[in-house]
Structure formats: C-alpha cells, structure tokens
A and B are shown apart, each in its own frame.
Chain A
C-alpha cells in the first residue's frame, strides 16, 4: 500500500508537470499572438496505463508532444491565390504611373492636336498672314514636344518596371536562400523540434508567393521543395538555385533565368509577373499606339505640305522631319528646322502664284475630322481617345482583379487563422483550465502526502 501511495505522489507530480506544460504552451501562444507566420501550439496529453490494473487505476498523464496546428491544403490554396492577387496589384500600381503620364482630358495631346489644327484654320482664314504661319509652326513644335514627352514618360515607366523586376528577383533569391537555410536547420533539429523553424519557413513561403508563382512540396522531414515558373527549381533541400538576370540584347531589359535558361515567359504570378507584363506587353502596346498616332500626324501633314505651295510660291517642303518607321515615331517627331526658321515656307496654297489661296490650309484644318488612321476608320482624336481608354481599361481591370482575388486571399487567410491562429478567448480558457488542473493535482499531492504521513505515524 505504501508503494501505491508513493506512486500516487509520482503521478501527482507528473500531472502537475503536464498541466504546467499546458500553461507554458498557452503562454507561448499568447506571447506570439501577433507574430507573423506563428501557428498555435497544442499540447498532446496521453493517459499512462496502469502497470497492474488490479492495484492501480493508471499512471496519470504524460505529455506526448507539442504540435503546431496547420492545414497544408489551405497553405497550398494560399500559395495559388496570393501570386495572382500580387500580379494584379503590381500591374495596377505600375499603370497608375502611366495614367498620370497621360494627363487629363483637355490638357494633354488632345489639346495640342486641337491647337495645331486651330492654327491651320487660322491660316486658312488669313493665308497671307506671317503671324499665322508662325503660329502654325509654334503649335507644330508644341505638338511634337508633347509626343516626345509622352513617349519619354512611357519609356521611363518601362525602365521603372524593369528596375522593379530586378529588385524582385533579388528579393526572391534572398527568400530562397532563407528557405534553404531553414531546410538545413529543420533537418538538423528533426521534425518534432522544429516548430518555430517551420513557422519561419511558412512565413518565408508566404512572402515568396507575393513575389512569384511557386509550387511547393513538403517532405516528411518538414523540409520544403520550392519551384517556380512552371517547375523550375528554386529550393531543393539545403540548396537554393539562384534566379538570374541577363540583359536582353535589343532593349537591355532584364530577362529572368534559371539554370541558365530564360524563363521570363514562364513566370505567371506574383509581382514579378505583373512587372514583366507591364514592361513587355502593356507599355509597349501603348507606345505602339502613340507611335502610330505620331507617325500618322507627321505623314499626313507632310503629304499635304509637299503637295502645296508656300508663301513664296515655291513647292512645299516636309513640315515635320520625315519618320522612317512607325516604331519610335513619337520620340523622334520634330518640325523641319528649315521650315521652323522661315515661316514663309509654311504652305497654305494649292497653286503657285496665288497668295490668297488657302485651299491647302483648309485641307490641313479639315484633317482634324478626317479618318486617316487604322485603315480609314479613326481620326487623330479617335486614336488618342482609344489610347487613353486602353490604359484606363487595363488599370481598371487590374484593380478589379486585385480586389476580387484579394477577397479570396482574405477568406483563405481567415480560414488559416481559424485553424492556426491564436484566439485570445480560447487561450484564456485554456489558461484557466490548466490552472485549475494544476491546483487540483497539487491538492491531490497534498492529500496523498498527508495520507503517507498518517501511514508513517502508525505505531509499529
């Protein structure tokens, strides 16, 4: 019997330790309630079976382990959705700059086009006026400058997107190295002892998923294998495979490489994909539209100008310096310096020797309403309007995409939190539970101890 009482003392002591462990886990959860990536700890208890059920009900309780509560399925869903939201966000942020470059209605290229054609109309009203000719030149120079400024801003936006690509690749490599390092530590520590390391691993993967689309495989030992851009290795075991940058031959823009291969076109998610899309697809399309408009303006004006006669009665020269191709037209358009230096060289007449002839000037003015672009379907104003619509629509679509995917990400995060997050109310209740259990076991210890005293004081 005495040996039973002593074993009961031991049982009480083990139980108190177990409840203390529970309090420790609760304290750990409360302390890390706001720690990014932390998954709540749960202590697993198990009843100790009796050595001999005829003389004992059991050996009390023991702690079999501490585990972090996480749902791998939710993690994978998060890694699928987050890159898509981040991609849309990167596109929207980049296009916000492009939108600013467009200017407001009535204060951008549309206003310069109107002023340019107004000047031709003024010349048509007064074809012998040298001041009107000067006005035509001035407005032509302002229009050309607007095109060049706009083209320059689009190029600057592209360069900014390229800088963002390079910076994002650096961040990806940093996180990849971090994950590889964590894999090494997890391997050394073992699955059960690496809960904190695996929290850090999860947080690093979460950050990585905002930068690029990733695919993950979690191994039994707790390490993780990460790939990106449709299966290109990023982290395998303790090794991180650096994402490289090479400069494209024609543009100098960064091309993303992995293992020596160009994987730029395979990147489909994350901020990296967003910046690449803006740099390589959206901004070039806007530049092409702008170049087409500038080329059309220069070509149509030059065609009319060379078909007419200037104020000296001579055949007209090119008003704008001829542009060889559509590509780059907006950044190269300039008024012919010879004409700019001598307003009398501005054409107004369609016949020579007729100073009052304003036929060609009227034709220039009417060009405003003429559908001369896109196979005869667009005026210059239509083309500009379409360009602004394209930019606005792309930005609007990206914002809507970001918002809708953001809602999905938020819901997944809520679900993850419901599994892995710390509920202060729950931890408070656990705290009370373990406290009461500890008190009860301590009381039991006292009772058993008093019982032993009674036994020991029995007269022999």
Chain B
C-alpha cells in the first residue's frame, strides 16, 4: 500500500489530536476535581449525581425539621417539668391543709399558695415557642387559657399538629392543653385547684380530699404526656444519627458519580502528556524523512 504525504500527516495529526484530547480531559479532571464536564461524558453518572443531590436535599430538610422539633419538644418537656413540680407543690400544700391544728391565718396563706401555683400552671400551659402556643392544639395563635379570675375554659382545640422528621415518621409538636389540664375529668385542674384552695381556707376536709384526688389525676395526665414527649426526643436523637448516616452515604454515592479519582486523574494526565509528546515527536519525525535527503 502506498503511503503518501497526505495520509502520513492526516494520520499523524489525527493521533496528535486524540492524544491532546485525552490529555486535556485528564487535565480538566485534575483542575476541576470533577469526573464529568457534561452529561455526555457519562449520562448514567450525571443523572445519578442529580438523584443523590436531590436525596441529600431531602435528608437535609428532614434533619432541619428534626432539629426544630427537638428544640420545640425540649421546651415542651421543660414546661411539663415545671407543670408537674407545681402540681406536686399544690399536692403538698393541700395535704398540709388537712391538718386540724392550722390557724385561720395559716389556712389563708396555704390557700393563697395553692392559688399562686394554679396561676403558675396556667402560665406554663400558655408557653409560646417562636410565637406559637404549644398547648393550644391547632389554634396556635390563641392562648390556651385566659387569666381570671376565674381562669377561662380551654380556648384551643384538639387538632394537634405534627411535622415530618423522616420518611414515614412524624412527631407531634403541639398539644391539646385540655388533655393535660382536664382530660376526662368533670373540671379542669385550675378549677380543681381553686376548689382545693377554698377547701383549705375553710377547713373543708371532704373538699380537700376530693380536690386532691383530682389533682393526682392531673399529675398522672401531665406525667403521661411528658413521657410521650421524652420518648419523642429520644427517638429524634436516633433519627438524627440515622439521617446523618444516610446523608453521608448519599454524599459518598454522589462523589462516586461526580468526583474524579485524583490519583487516577493525575496519573492519567501524566500519561496523557507523555502520549501527546510522543505523538508530536512521531509526527515531527515522519515529516523529516524524505528520499530527497539522500540524493547527491
């Protein structure tokens, strides 16, 4: 087969261009840190990278929601702790009021103490978190209980709200204050404490006993809700760890799709440079050879 001037340079130039293209590709990987410059470089990996980034964004949202929920639940837990302490203080005061040797002044003071604890418990249930009433159910702009006397009936509703903290997992972040304050009882705890205070003031032992019974039930209700809140806080911590792991895994997959293996790219760039130089040298050498050089 005849080898001509044109074909020698055409083939040589083709090889030079190919070597230059491979060298440029590897150099671009090294400088950008990315395995692909466009979707055509690896369509599957390109769309895979998009999928993993979307997944990471979703997980970030769940993590953020979970963190917000944890903060809110921590506040609720703190409120319930105070509420329970106030109930216990009222129970102690009520029990002390059963003594038959109290003077009227002592009864009056104990009655005032119980009323003070009642008002403090109301304030606890009226706690706001970032402008939202936690214990109003769905009526988050409405104070659960208005100050008296007498303290109002429950002004919220039973539409407790939840937020999504993971796929298929939601956490309650508002509470129906009436389930804590009243539950299935005939009257709410505030009315009960008012009755207790009055019974202590008048030395009505029967009244004191009846009120203390209802106060005990309020204590049980608050404790039950706090247990649920505590369990949710613990669950959120577990969820956070799991979501962090999932995010790291998604990022790892994304990196596998998108990021260049730097060792491989640097090595490839070095090889590409050598191949490019070799192709240039070969083309240059081919152009120098001619029969004309051997003619006398």
Interface, chain A (partner B; CB < 8 A): 33-34, 92, 95-96, 99-100, 102, 105-106, 110-111, 113-114, 117-118, 121, 124-128, 351, 354-359, 362, 365-366, 368-369, 381-382, 384-386, 388-389, 391-393, 395-396, 399, 410, 413-415, 417-419, 421-426, 428-429, 432
Interface string of B37-58 (1 = CB under 8 A from A): 0111111101101110110011
Q: Contact at A354–B139, with CB atoms within 8 Å?
A: yes
Cβ distance B124 to chain A, nearest Cβ, rounded Å: 19
Residues from chain B with a CB closer than 8 A to the CB of A392 are 38-43, 46-47
Do A389 and B164 contact each other (CB < 8 Å), given the known contacts A128-B141, A356-B136?
no
Cβ distance A334 to chain B, nearest Cβ, rounded Å: 24
Partner of A418, one of B3, B39, B141, B163: B3
Cβ distance B119 to chain A, nearest Cβ, rounded Å: 25
B285 interface residue (CB < 8 Å to A): no
Q: Contact at B47–A385, with CB atoms within 8 Å?
A: yes
Do A428 and B290 contact each other (CB < 8 Å), given the known contacts A357-B138, A417-B7?
yes
Q: Contact at A428–B6, with CB atoms within 8 Å?
A: no
Do A128 and B131 contact each other (CB < 8 Å), given the known contacts A395-B40, A419-B2, A428-B290?
yes
Partner of A126, one of B39, B130, B137, B290: B130
Q: Contact at B10–A414, with CB atoms within 8 Å?
A: yes
Q: Contact at A396–B40, with CB atoms within 8 Å?
A: yes
B258 interface residue (CB < 8 Å to A): yes
Cβ distance A317 to chain B, nearest Cβ, rounded Å: 22
Q: Secondary structure of the A side of the interface?
A: helix
Q: Contact at B163–A358, with CB atoms within 8 Å?
A: yes
Q: Contact at A432–B295, with CB atoms within 8 Å?
A: yes
A423 to B291, CA, bound (A): 11
Cβ distance A89 to chain B, nearest Cβ, rounded Å: 13
Chain B residue total in the interface (Cβ 8 A): 56
Residues from chain A with a CB closer than 8 A to the CB of B64 are 121, 125
Residues from chain A with a CB closer than 8 A to the CB of B159 are 351, 354, 356-357
Residues from chain B with a CB closer than 8 A to the CB of A391 are 39
Do A357 and B11 contact each other (CB < 8 Å), given the known contacts A126-B130, A128-B141?
no
Q: Contact at A356–B4, with CB atoms within 8 Å?
A: no
Residues from chain B with a CB closer than 8 A to the CB of A425 are 290-291
Residues from chain A with a CB closer than 8 A to the CB of B42 are 392, 396
Q: Contact at A125–B65, with CB atoms within 8 Å?
A: yes
Q: Which residues of B15-69 are within 8 A (CB) of A?
A: 38-44, 46-47, 49-51, 53-54, 57-58, 60-61, 64-65, 68-69
Q: Which residues of B95-137 are within 8 A (CB) of A?
A: 130-132, 136-137
Q: Contact at A399–B51, with CB atoms within 8 Å?
A: no
Partner of A33, one of B5, B41, B142, B295: B5
Residues from chain B with a CB closer than 8 A to the CB of A356 are 132, 136-141, 159, 161, 174
Q: Contact at B132–A410, with CB atoms within 8 Å?
A: no
Do A117 and B61 contact each other (CB < 8 Å), given the known contacts A127-B140, A422-B5?
yes
Listed residue (A117, A118, A392) with the most chain B CB atoms within 10 angstroms of its CB: A392
Residues from chain A with a CB closer than 8 A to the CB of B139 are 354-356
A172 to B141, CA, bound (A): 74
A36 to B90, CA, bound (A): 106
Q: Contact at B2–A423, with CB atoms within 8 Å?
A: yes
